[in-house]
Structure 1
């Protein structure tokens, strides 16, 4: 990846530009100066996906420029990916080159790793997977000391586990996370740890309850649950819900109730628009919500959900799109002020940025 300028001066300049952009977007709301949390310059990305490109009977890892499916960029190593991914790339390639069972109609490889050293490889095929493939894949998984998943139309064969395990420390406590294949996880583990610590500090020690929307696998839920009386958390993805429930149990956190609802559906439930069977047995009236935590997709919160958050004294908001964050703050600015803000450089060497704000009722 020689096209990526992995030098500190170029990175510092880019981070300065991102900070200026966030400052500009939040200026209409009299936001304080953002705290800036930088990223390692390389080996920060814990997951990677490659297409395979065939030349002269050899398959190469390949990526493509946006909009161009026919001009591959052939890759031997990938400096922005974790050291574990880079260590696996060459022996995996050698294995498929030496085995027809592994290479035949293989078209995509995905890596999922953790700071704790765990690794899962997914191999995707344009053909049914047979016993010969499984025998070769089992040997490969043992040789590389990874879990491995084979995918083809109508098939998903798991060798080992279909998740990786991560460990992150927040305020002196270590939290264990299962991160399933195919489910969303924060790609930059080091910066994710900084985000968790910032959110933990921003929420503070509370004697009331927390509502969390878009909780995913419980990435923020686990540390934030230790700061409040109890938590009602929502997530719509089944795989993320199952992972979150396992993570709560693995970490012996028992003050969280998790329901599989979208943020929009929970808004309807809290507004009395319609009942949901998935809320049966949940006594919403028993909660004394003082804070709401949201980590929405790039589109931000829809207007109704944004309006729902207005009810809370404190809104802790993590965003992967500062433009939609600014739009949501504009809707809330008449009742809430920005007390804290931060930039988390999850995506160095790109224009993308993650940001966070704490909004407090005026």
Structure 2
């Protein structure tokens, strides 16, 4: 990603994506998509580099997809945040100068925030222990970063394994704990636009929201202001823990968070199965008028499709418009698209994020 960086072509690439989305949604009578562009450079808040050694000297390297033998050596990465670019040189210089930091280092992972916080993970083909900690502490202090070391079966955390992002959505600030190795939206500026659009599409309801695939609560937090209550579900333990902390940190009290897969939610709501994880939760007390889904690239499975069809309003964020279109083929008989949007999370690639609001016919 980013190896074909050409900001002069950005507007045309975005226009091509828009047309592709229009074509995909045309069979469903969708309105004109709202378009949310990305900054043309320094938009990506995380980046991962392999190290490529030439005559024993390490270089940051990336590879074209499918080719791991021809590295593209980098000193800077224009698509990455300014904070990442500012850290790349000093970090590598420190690793070159100190064998405790640089010996058998093979990968560097950066995670940054719009507010300038940074977490860096150094990955090694050798065991690391307390002797690494001392050198790493000096580097972390010098660069003002959170620093983590990883080797097979080992993880060295000097202070904390997360940073805190602050996103502004409709003039309100939301704080998110972003954990090393957990999923976060890579394009912070577009993420803010996506959250604002979701709020606008959701409107205001005196009833409740069911959210599937809530992750770390990226959408959950702002959407909680638009509904009486929210039942949010997520399967990944790391994401559930982050979401719980984010709800606490932002003082959100009208969200019930449960660790369930989407198919388990279907079984619970239809009475097919009972789950110990739902003990003490009165499912019958919820009055859902909207369901929000942000599924993986494969889209919604058949059972979940049948579940969402039962709600008056479906708010669907998709990272793969092709599977979105396939799902819409099933939903089109009961719901119509009343709003749609394109979010350019991944400039200079074919990937795009889309959102649709479907309302019962």
TM over 0.5: yes
- Answer whether contact 2:2 2:348 (CA < 8 A) is retained: no
Q: Which residue of 1 aligns with 2:352?
A: 353
1:205 positional shift = 0.7
CA distance in 2, matches of 1:2, 1:84: 17
Superposition deviation, residue 64 in structure 1: 1.2
Single out whichever of 214-223 and 161-170 deviates more from structure 2.
161-170
Following superposition, the deviation at residue 306 of structure 1 comes to 1.0
In 2, distance between residues paired with 1:20 and 1:69?
Answer: 33
Q: Residue 226 of structure 1: SS of its match in structure 2? A: helix
C-alpha distance in structure 1 between counterparts of 2:336 and 2:2, whole Å = 44
Unmatched 5+ residue regions in structure 1?
A: none
SS at match of 2:226: coil
Give matches, 1:147-296, under 5 Å. Answer: 147-296=146-295
Deviation at 1:68, TM superposition (A): 1.7
Does structure 1 conserve the Cα–Cα contact (< 8 Å) formed by 2:337 and 2:357? Answer: yes
Is residue 127–residue 153 contact of structure 1 (8 Å, CA) maintained in 2? yes
Is the CA contact 2:5–2:78 (under 8 Å) kept in the aligned structure 1?
Answer: no
Paired residue secondary structure (1:211):
strand
What TM-score results when the alignment is normalised by the length of structure 2? 0.98
Following the alignment from structure 1 to structure 2, what is the Cα–Cα distance between the partners of residues 331 and 136? 57
Look up the match of 2:13. 14
SS in 2 for 1:241: helix
SS at match of 2:94: helix
After superposition, where does 1:91-170 map in structure 2 within 5 Å? 91-170=90-169
Deviation at 1:220, TM superposition (A): 0.3
Aligned structure 1 segments of 4 or more residues deviating by more than 6 angstroms:
none
Q: CA deviation at 1:3?
A: 5.1
Shift of 1:130: 2.2
Return the offset for 1:73.
0.8
Q: Which moved more, 1:34-43 or 1:274-283?
A: 274-283
Whether the 8 Å contact between 2:217 and 2:246 is mirrored in structure 1 is yes
Any conservation in 1 of the 2:148–2:158 contact (CA below 8 Å)? Answer: yes
Q: Map of 1:44-83 to 2, 5 A cutoff?
A: 44-83=43-82
Distance 1:106 1:2 in 2: 24
**How far does the alpha carbon of each residue in 1:96-142 deviate from its partner, in whole angstroms, 9 at most, with x for none?**
00010011111110000000111000011111102221111111111
Tell me if structure 1 keeps the 8 A contact 2:129–2:156. no
Q: Is the 8 A contact 2:2 2:79 kept in 1?
A: no
* SS of residue in 2 equivalent to 1:206: coil
Gaps of 5+ in 2: none
